[in-house]
Structure 1
């Protein structure tokens, strides 16, 4: 297995942790980006606003923190004060004049220009990225499956039709099948399910020359991302279109016309086509209904070039087995964050050996959960309380299983 790491030895990195909140309300800010200014090391906040960032043990530590709708903030951290940072961001209020908007004939014209400028705005070099992936499956509110992985992403240039490549560095997964008593829900594609949300690399999943005619586009309120103003373009499926398309928002940098963030959800009105699109295989006696299918992708900027930074998918299904009175609700969430990257050079392995298939289903491997230092120097998305609780339950179960194994050793046959 070919691996690549950006940190050095275990004693050469330090950990910085804290939370990011709204300065007015005190509420946590979800998916805020935290990046070390002097490197490409970065992470994001979880659903509780918490983060953990591991960086090389350098002298001066400067962090840049930003999120949609907030003014970015630069924080200098001393080595003696790296724990429990409390970073408060101020909301931004941006008003664009009519002149700004009427530069474009309509919102669709602006979206066309975004894709036309892809070669100019996005990385044009092969890039080697390290990323963290997490996948959870819940039945109602109970965690039934948890998978996590550190990956190498071999990102092709944005103007190149070649597909990106993923290699697995290390992973762990545990599924409690006793909680999946109606159906064992599995995510086909694993990390590719998040990678393909990269709209600028894979626009064909949402926007093609054909599907573009199935959307209505209009301007929404402007905002601020990464300290720069952004246009907001809202799009929705036309009423006369039968095939399921998407409704969402595109956030576009007003100067470069780079797409810096997108949020969108699948139109679920045509359930039969939605299920054909999303469900690859199911038992004949099971009926599945999609309740919510939504996606998010964020891009980051370095030296005037944008690149994929984070994506997340939330999928909720209602499952009913024939001749059963009650239905079960399953929620599947997968997310991936780029935690470090560098431009590819010819000394690095770009072959297809040991790469993941785009149809992969993460395999169960619980051993990593018993090691509290399993991730070592790799950056991960801090687990929220429900995931921490799930990990503790897995650890307790593994300890019990180990105890049973040890107790059985030495018994007479």
Structure 2
């Protein structure tokens, strides 16, 4: 059991007592390492990506500019915001989503707003007579993990990524923290850990909805970064634990005209420790993991709580009810790289002296929006690197600058989050007008 704890201890949730008070958000931008310039030298395009049949929004669909490293992701409402330098006038936008046929759209066909893009499902049944089809799902997974040095980036890479944390109490937004970070990605064949540097961060928190508990996610961007299975297999499929799982072929699909086998996995019934279950999407021809979606198997809430709850008041019981992960990879010039990941935590907070418990959810997500080879291999100094113990909501400084993100591609905020931010800002302005605390 202790081995299991240590493997996923990086995803920790800290719960501490907090005194209800009026909070002031400072406006000093302490984490801007350089000033933005030429923020108007780009065009932006907004819209929505939906299922062609059901018209339902496609969550976490990818939009990328062909031939460049520019990309973004749709939010949980299927909406996107894509910023493209004005120097690119005749590009092609590649729109893709897991299990759907990709679509190429000329940049000239996009409008600044209200673009609606439909994608169609692409499903292919596994052929029983295909002599080239792998017969052993477990062996395919092991071979895929073993070939990461051949199929994934083999050069040091500098990535720009957008990171977001959200906290909800039931369905109401409580806190939002966002950051632009630099990821110094080491080659996939290397054992060296990736380094992360904070460029800018911002937050908005409605503490009146947190009762007397302040919930904080420890680890910041590392929560999402370590979901990169191909770089960090030790957090799920290390040499000691991979045989604790059983693997089986589920179905096949096509992604970007590639035949992808979907492999389901779950822990053996004889394994009592909380492990994972989910699906791996593997390009069989190249032995490449393109995506993974999985959850923690919560059968013992006390054991699961030990994995995530670092600190809590004595009279409170806290336990996770759902822990889910997703990672997507992208391909360029025959090599694959980490593109997007998210972590969803749902849990209950039960006070001894309260009749009803509280239900909270937290999501951490990160999308790579640009990258280039780190030709010099230079890394940030230790004092400039984010620590794995970071609590981003303590480091961020508020939503004071409307042009805060400049030309960076970010994940479009959900309408509910935008509404929450505006409401909080109004409350702070009211407090300031009444002679209270300062507001951004």
> How high is the TM-score relative to the length of structure 1?
0.93
Q: Which digits, 9 at most, give the CA deviation of each residue in 1:167-202, with x for residues without a partner?
A: 111111132222111421110101110001000011
Preserved contact between residue 20 and residue 49 of structure 1 (Cα < 8 Å): yes
Preserved contact between residue 101 and residue 255 of structure 2 (Cα < 8 Å): yes
Within the candidate set 273, 285, 299, 1:269 is matched to 299
1:20-169 alignment runs, 5 A limit: 20-57=49-86, 58-78=88-108, 81-100=111-130, 103-169=133-199
Distance 1:33 1:102 in 2: 30
What is residue 305 of structure 1 aligned with on the other side?
335
Q: Secondary structure of the residue that 2:218 maps to in structure 1?
A: coil
Matching of residue 207 in structure 1 with residue 237 in structure 2: yes
Distance 1:367 1:167 in 2: 17
Structure 1 3/104 Cα, relative in aligned 2: closer, same or farther at 3 Å? Answer: farther
Q: How far is the alpha carbon of 1:227 from its aligned partner? A: 2.7
Distance 2:37 2:364 in 1: 29
Q: Secondary structure of the residue that 1:249 maps to in structure 2?
A: strand
Preserved contact between residue 175 and residue 364 of structure 1 (Cα < 8 Å): no
Q: Which digits, 9 at most, give the CA deviation of each residue in 1:238-272, with x for residues without a partner?
A: 11111110001000012211100000000100222
Q: Secondary structure of the residue that 1:29 maps to in structure 2?
A: coil
Distance 1:348 1:401 in 2: 46
Preserved contact between residue 3 and residue 152 of structure 1 (Cα < 8 Å): no
Q: Secondary structure of the residue that 1:112 maps to in structure 2?
A: helix
Q: Which digits, 9 at most, give the CA deviation of each residue in 1:386-407, with x for residues without a partner?
A: 1111111122123223323499
Q: How far is the alpha carbon of 1:65 from its aligned partner? A: 0.3
Matching of residue 217 in structure 1 with residue 283 in structure 2: no
Distance 1:126 1:394 in 2: 41
Distance 1:396 1:99 in 2: 65
Q: How far is the alpha carbon of 1:380 from its aligned partner? A: 0.7
Contiguous gaps of at least 5 residues in structure 1: 409-413
Q: How far is the alpha carbon of 1:348 from its aligned partner? A: 5.3
Matching of residue 171 in structure 1 with residue 201 in structure 2: yes
Preserved contact between residue 36 and residue 64 of structure 1 (Cα < 8 Å): yes
Distance 1:4 1:166 in 2: 16
Preserved contact between residue 177 and residue 396 of structure 2 (Cα < 8 Å): no
What is residue 371 of structure 1 aligned with on the other side?
401
Q: How far is the alpha carbon of 1:61 from its aligned partner? A: 2.8
Distance 1:404 1:371 in 2: 23
**Equivalences, count:** 407
Preserved contact between residue 2 and residue 349 of structure 1 (Cα < 8 Å): no
What is residue 19 of structure 1 aligned with on the other side?
48
Q: Which digits, 9 at most, give the CA deviation of each residue in 1:298-330, with x for residues without a partner?
A: 000000100000001111001101122111101
Preserved contact between residue 2 and residue 354 of structure 1 (Cα < 8 Å): no
Within the candidate set 225, 228, 248, 1:195 is matched to 225
Structure 1 396/222 Cα, relative in aligned 2: closer, same or farther at 3 Å? Answer: same
Matching of residue 285 in structure 1 with residue 315 in structure 2: yes
Within the candidate set 2, 5, 10, 2:39 is matched to 10
Contiguous gaps of at least 5 residues in structure 2: 1-30
1:334-349 alignment runs, 5 A limit: 334-346=364-376, 349=379
Within the candidate set 397, 401, 404, 2:434 is matched to 404
Moved more, 192-201 or 174-183: 174-183
Preserved contact between residue 145 and residue 173 of structure 1 (Cα < 8 Å): yes
Q: How far is the alpha carbon of 1:358 from its aligned partner? A: 0.7
1:345-364 alignment runs, 5 A limit: 345-346=375-376, 349-364=379-394
More relative contact order in 1 or in 2 (CA 8 Å, sep 6+)?
2
Q: How far is the alpha carbon of 1:77 from its aligned partner? A: 2.1
Distance 1:43 1:406 in 2: 40
What is residue 411 of structure 1 aligned with on the other side?
none
Preserved contact between residue 33 and residue 199 of structure 2 (Cα < 8 Å): yes
Moved more, 320-329 or 294-303: 320-329
What is residue 184 of structure 1 aligned with on the other side?
214
What is residue 278 of structure 2 aligned with on the other side?
248
What is residue 256 of structure 2 aligned with on the other side?
226
Q: Which digits, 9 at most, give the CA deviation of each residue in 1:156-175, with x for residues without a partner?
A: 11111111111111111132
> How high is the TM-score relative to the length of structure 2?
0.88
Preserved contact between residue 201 and residue 397 of structure 2 (Cα < 8 Å): no
Superposition CA RMSD, Å: 2.2
Preserved contact between residue 431 and residue 437 of structure 2 (Cα < 8 Å): no
